[in-house]
């Protein structure tokens, strides 16, 4: 078969699949979100990593800032 034709066919199949897949993903995501928000609403949203052991980088940075703040206004 003419390679250009093959390419066109591949483009149609490819973009078709990409759009079909992402359309399905949009629909199922919307459905999923609706179901989750109805049946499993979590009032507080713990940030990912909240269960991590030990202080995170951000926390350490916060500590550093706190110390800096304290020292800045110290005697």
Partner 1 sequence: MERLSDLWLASGLYQMSWGQAVMIAVCLGLLYLAVARRFEPLLLVTIGFGGILSNLPGAEIATGNGLLHLTYVVGIETGAFPLIIFMGVGAMTDFGPMLANPKTLFLGAAAQFGIFATLLGALGLSALGWFDFSLQQAAAIGIIGGADGPTAIYVAGKLAPELLGAIAVAAYSYMALVPLIQPPIMRALTTARERAIEMRQLRTVSRVERIVFPLLLVLLVGLMLPAAAPLLGMFCFGNLMRECGVVERLSDTTRNALINIVTIFLGLAVGSKLAADAFLVPSTLGILVLGMAAFAVGTATGVLMAKLMNLLTREPINPLIGAAGVSAVPMAARVANRVGQEANPHNYLLMHAMGPNVAGVIGSAVAAGVLILLAGE
Give the residues lining the site for partner 1 (CB under 8 A).
Answer: 3-4, 6-15, 17-26, 28-30, 32-33, 36-37, 40-42, 45-46, 48-53
Buried b vs exposed e over 38-60: b needs ≥16 C-beta within 10 Å? eeeeeeeeeeeeeeeeeeeeeee
Nearer Cβ to partner 1, position 21 or 58? 21
Distance CA 20, CA 12 (A): 12
- Report if residue 51 touches its own copies, rule: CB under 8 A: no
Measure Cα distances from 47 to 26, 42, 73 in Å.
24, 12, 32
Rule CB under 8 A: say whether 67 interacts with its own copies: yes
Q: How far is the CB of 65 from its own copies (least distance, A)?
A: 10
Give me the least distance between CB of 53 and its own copies, in Å please. 7
């Amino acid at each position: 078969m003419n390679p250009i034709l093959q390419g066109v066919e591949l483009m149609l199949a490819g973009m078709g699949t990409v759009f079909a897949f992402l359309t399905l993903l949009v629909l199922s995501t919307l459905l999923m979100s609706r179901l989750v928000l109805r049946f499993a609403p979590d009032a507080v949203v713990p940030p990912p990593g909240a269960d991590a052991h030990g202080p995170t980088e951000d926390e350490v940075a916060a500590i550093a800032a706190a110390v800096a703040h304290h020292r800045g206004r110290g005697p």
